[in-house]
């Protein structure tokens, strides 16, 4: 008789709404619940600016690291960027988005709680 194990991934869900005045970067992480290995979608929204150069998105835990950096073409770049991290294992994650401009960086971060649950 074999035993199957599954991890339930509880991810904090942050809704991205329109940018407020002075807000350069917002981020949404989904889904709210998934089975590991999980596919996590990170959606960022940035304000249009000719100094926008790149957006870097990182999913990190003490045992796992994955990142993606997307170049941006200044004011011609899309306002919304979506990245999928596939096959995330269990663990406590910090997801960080960094908007890289000519002379500065703006950061948004969210915590992901990956909860393990054995199933037979």
Residue 80 lies inside a defined structural domain of this protein: yes
Residue 119 lies inside a defined structural domain of this protein: no
Over 70: is that where the pLDDT of 2 sits? no
| Structural domain harbouring 98 | 5-110
Pick the more confident residue, 3 or 95: 95
Residue 32 lies inside a defined structural domain of this protein: yes
Rg, Å, the chain Cα set? 16
> Which pair of structure tokens corresponds to residue 97?
């988005």
Enter the pTM of the model.
Answer: 0.74
76 φ, ψ to 5°? -90, -5
> Which pair of structure tokens corresponds to residue 18?
């329109």
Q: Range with the lowest mean pLDDT among 20-24, 67-71, 72-76, 80-84? A: 20-24
Residue 30 lies inside a defined structural domain of this protein: yes
Residue 118 lies inside a defined structural domain of this protein: no
Cα gap 106→85, rounded to integer Å: 21
Pick the more confident residue, 2 or 18: 18
Residue 120 lies inside a defined structural domain of this protein: no
When pLDDT is cut at 50, 70 and 90, the band that residue 16 belongs to is very low
The CATH number linked to 87 is 2.60.40.10
Strand pairing partners for 5? Answer: 118
Cα gap 100→102, rounded to integer Å: 7
* Number of helical H runs and strand E runs in the chain: 0, 9
How many structural domains compose the chain?
Answer: 1
Strand pairing partners for 117? Answer: 6
Residue 86 lies inside a defined structural domain of this protein: yes
Residue 54 lies inside a defined structural domain of this protein: yes
């Amino acid at each position: 008789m074999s035993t199957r194990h599954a991890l339930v991934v509880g991810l904090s869900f942050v809704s991205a709404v329109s940018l407020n005045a002075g807000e350069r970067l917002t981020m949404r992480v989904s889904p709210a619940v998934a089975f590991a290995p999980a596919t996590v979608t990170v959606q960022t929204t940035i304000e249009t600016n000719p100094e926008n150069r790149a957006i870097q998105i990182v999913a990190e835990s003490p045992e796992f690291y994955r990142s993606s950096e997307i170049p941006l073409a200044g004011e011609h770049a899309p306002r919304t960027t979506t990245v999928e991290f596939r096959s995330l294992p269990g663990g406590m994650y910090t997801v960080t988005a960094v908007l890289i401009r000519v002379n500065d960086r703006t950061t948004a971060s969210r915590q992901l709680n990956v909860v393990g649950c054995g199933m037979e």
